[in-house]
Amino acid sequence: MYSISRRHRHSQRELDQILECPNVELINVNNKTSKYLYPHYALLWIVPLAFLTLFYFYPLATILGKSFVDLSSLAQLLEIVRQPYVTKTLWFTIWQATLSTILTLAIGLPGAYILAHYNFWGKSILRAITAIPFVLPTVVVAASFTSTLGPNGWMNRTLMTWLNLETAPIVLNHTLWAILIAHVFYNTTIILRLVGDYWTLMDPKMVQAARCLGATRLRAFLGITLPLLTPAIVSAALLVFIFDFTSFGVILILGGPMFSTLEVAIYRQTINFFDLEMAAWLSVIQLICTLGLTVLYARLSRKIHRPLKTNRLRSIRRQQHNWKTRMSVGILITILIIVLVMPLATLAFSSVYKFEPDRGERENVSTGFTLSYYRELFVNRRNSIFFVTPIETIMFSLRNAVITTISALAIGLPATWVLTRKTRLTQLLEPILMLPLGTSAVTLGLGLLLVFSRTPFNMRTSSLLVPLAHTLVAFPFVIRSLLPSWTIINPQIRKAAAMLGANPIQVWREIDLPIIGRAILVAGAFAFTISIGEFGATILLSRPEFTTVPMAIYRYLSLPGALNYGQAMALSTILMIFCGISIFCIEAIRPNAISEF
């Protein structure tokens, strides 16, 4: 602040008096200073809107154009929706997303309460580890559950050994329960973070006052805590529902041919049946559903970012005083570890333990701990001309991640900065910027495939098409990571700096940047991690010479044999380590603000 006040030697006491009176308007600030601080701020919309127009709206318009080819297309859409295949797929998509959301809330809400109200040893580590599933690729999530509960998973093998059984007693592969459990594993961290952070910042004095007036714990919770928590719970549940509704890798691998959501149906119609028209129609149906949910989520999320009357964190985080509380907290922590941590441990264990002989292995058969699966990643046993070593695959994925991070931040920073200004324009454009969040990755990939496989934008052979799709996927996450920290900045500070002679660049460098610096790092880490594990759009856009790590894992899982399965586990473990490092870095630098992710 000293560098700002060089021109005008106002005392620090005068500046403090300005900042301590937020309800008093600064003289000539509301109009002149605001224009000085935000010169031509509308110009900052050019970059994000131009990017979305070319890489989002234009591909979606192409999908719509391929569907609505004549005036009878609306009637044709109704006919397609009435088809048994489409009706069954749409119903199952809604049904499994609803069940998954309910189960996620049942696991996440008690966990959010524990993390918000109690201190215990290893809390920060548990918080970081439970966030890893959310940033894992869906193909790795499916691989972790295959290694845990699959026919050859360690749980079935253990029970078969102990009970002397010939067949696996737990049959969850290609069942609805496998899908639901995987979705709970994948999305519980949203409830833990969004609801838990909001719960942490709530002032406990209101509940304490109600208890002093004779209210029971249940009545105080239903009358005070629950109404205050409702916006966060509804917003988190809606976000979980959107992710479950657009789930792809979990349904494709764990559901098998028995189950199909709209996302999987679009992929199968495109890749397996080459019916781009039907794929386009299914994309339209999905867009109608997801875009409405996204607009609703954008409106609800504004409520949880409004300032709360908060108390210091230490005053509401307490130790477990009696054995009942310790037992309850211990049981809930154990459930979180079993649901969210154990699949990660079994994934790593399956990559270094050999359960059965490899395909064609007759002599010197051995089982036990081994690193052969990691060594086999570098062996081209089929002499395929499309063979890519793990180092090349990882380097290509890292290259995509770097491009995605730079692009997402370059587009997301100016967009978020303008969103902090509460105007009618920003209220209108905020849901538009969030539209990619509610659009499935497969739909994005299909649109980009239709547009950039022909002139004048023929980029089908370009390696930049994949990171462009990743940027679309990561862009909303960047905004949602930056917006909470940027919103809490007191605008009076900027106005006071302008009165002391600071230009807009100085205001941004001296005030905004120190406050949102960690949020920028968090947003960049999220964009990097999302790109590393993106699977839905990549499976439609990637080429054999441009293989990413999730694509290589999916290829190994699709092939029979213990060796291919072990290689999938090994590559999944490597990717899990990358994601784990990213999430621990995010936890280390994450600002103390309410955030979805």
Q: Alpha carbon 149 to chain centroid distance?
A: 24
Per-residue pLDDT tens digits for 291-312: 788 777 777 766 655 544 544 4
3-state secondary structure 500-537: CCCCHHHHHHHHHHHHHHHHHHHHHHHHHHHHHHCCCC
369: three-class secondary structure by DSSP? strand
47: three-class secondary structure by DSSP? helix
Q: Which helix (H) or strand (E) holds 354?
A: strand 353-354
Which residues, 6 or more positions from 35, have their beta carbon under 8 angstroms from its beta carbon? none
**Half-sphere exposure at residue 145, Cβ-oriented, CA atoms within 13 angstroms:** 31
Q: Pull the structure tokens for residue 74.
A: 């609306």
Question: Percent helix, strand, coil in the chain (nearest 5)?
Answer: 75, 0, 25
Q: Quote the CA–CA distance of 317 and 15 in Å, as a whole number.
A: 34
3-state secondary structure 65-121: HHHCCCCCHHHHHHHHHHCHHHHHHHHHHHHHHHHHHHHHHHHHHHHHHHHHHECCC
Q: What is the pLDDT of residue 31?
A: 43
The dihedrals phi and psi of 318, each to the nearest 5 degrees, come to -130, 165
CATH superfamily ID and name for 88-343+400-589: MetI-like (1.10.3720.10)
Q: Alpha carbon 273 to chain centroid distance?
A: 30
Residue 368's region, left for phi above 0, alpha for psi from -120 to 50, else beta, is left
With contact defined as beta carbons under 8 Å apart, do 451 and 560 qualify? no
Q: What is the pLDDT of residue 107?
A: 92
* Cα–Cα distance list, 577 to 138, 203, 225, 345, 511 (Å): 15, 38, 38, 11, 36
* Cα–Cα distance list, 264 to 31, 93, 490 (Å): 53, 10, 46
Q: Quote the CA–CA distance of 255 and 257 in Å, as a whole number.
A: 7
How many residues does the structure list for the chain?
597
Which residues, 6 or more positions from 544, have their beta carbon under 8 angstroms from its beta carbon? 386, 388
Q: What is the pLDDT of residue 11?
A: 43
Q: Which letter, b or e, does each residue of 568-594 get, where b requires 16 or more Cβ atoms within 10 Å of its Cβ?
A: bbbbbbbbbebbbebbbbbbeebbebb
Cα radius of gyration (the chain): 26
* Cα–Cα distance list, 126 to 119, 336, 343 (Å): 12, 9, 14
Per-residue pLDDT tens digits for 111-135: 888 888 888 788 888 888 888 888 7
Q: Quote the CA–CA distance of 385 and 388 in Å, as a whole number.
A: 9
Q: Quote the CA–CA distance of 497 and 506 in Å, as a whole number.
A: 9
Q: What is the pLDDT of residue 384?
A: 65
With contact defined as beta carbons under 8 Å apart, do 534 and 551 qualify? no
Q: What is the pLDDT of residue 42?
A: 61
With contact defined as beta carbons under 8 Å apart, do 290 and 439 qualify? yes
Q: What is the pLDDT of residue 22?
A: 44
Q: What is the pLDDT of residue 358?
A: 58
Q: Quote the CA–CA distance of 112 and 198 in Å, as a whole number.
A: 9
**Half-sphere exposure at residue 184, Cβ-oriented, CA atoms within 13 angstroms:** 26
Q: What is the pLDDT of residue 101?
A: 95
Q: Quote the CA–CA distance of 556 and 549 in Å, as a whole number.
A: 11
Q: Is the pTM of this model over 0.85?
A: no
Q: What is the pLDDT of residue 361?
A: 54
What type of residue sits at position 166? Answer: E
Per-residue pLDDT tens digits for 178-194: 899 889 988 998 898 88
pLDDT mean across residues, the chain: 78
Q: Give the chain's residues under pLDDT 50.
A: 1-12, 14-15, 18-37, 39, 71, 307-308, 310-316
The dihedrals phi and psi of 118, each to the nearest 5 degrees, come to -130, 145
With contact defined as beta carbons under 8 Å apart, do 86 and 285 qualify? yes
With contact defined as beta carbons under 8 Å apart, do 510 and 497 qualify? yes
According to DSSP, residue 252 is labeled: I
Per-residue pLDDT tens digits for 26-49: 434 444 444 444 545 567 778 888
C-alpha closest to that of 297 among 246, 233, 341: 233
Q: What is the pLDDT of residue 313?
A: 44
Q: What is the pLDDT of residue 37?
A: 47
